[in-house]
Amino acid sequence: MFYVYILRSSKDGKRYVGMTENLERRMNEHESGRVKSTKTDVP
C-alpha cells in the first residue's frame, strides 16, 4: 500500500506532496531534515 501526503510549510505556506510505502519512516525523515526539499535551511 502507498500513502500520498501533503505537507504545508508554516514559514511560507508552500506545499510539498509526497508518496511512500512507509509513512512513519518518511515523516521521521522530513522531521529530521534528511529531505532536501523540506529542510528548514533550504532557501
Q: According to the model, what pLDDT value does residue 41 have? A: 65
Q: According to the model, what pLDDT value does residue 11 have? A: 84
User: Angle at Cα 28 formed by Cα 4 and Cα 3, nearest 5°?
Assistant: 15
Eight-state DSSP code of residue 19: E
Nearest to 23 by CA among 11, 31, 15, 14: 31
Cell output for 37: 526539499
Rounded to whole angstroms, the Cα distance separating 5 from 18 reads 5
Summarize pLDDT for 6-38 with one digit per residue, the tens. 999 888 899 999 999 999 999 999 999 899 888
Q: According to the model, what pLDDT value does residue 42 have? A: 58
User: Angle at Cα 5 formed by Cα 27 and Cα 25, nearest 5°?
Assistant: 25
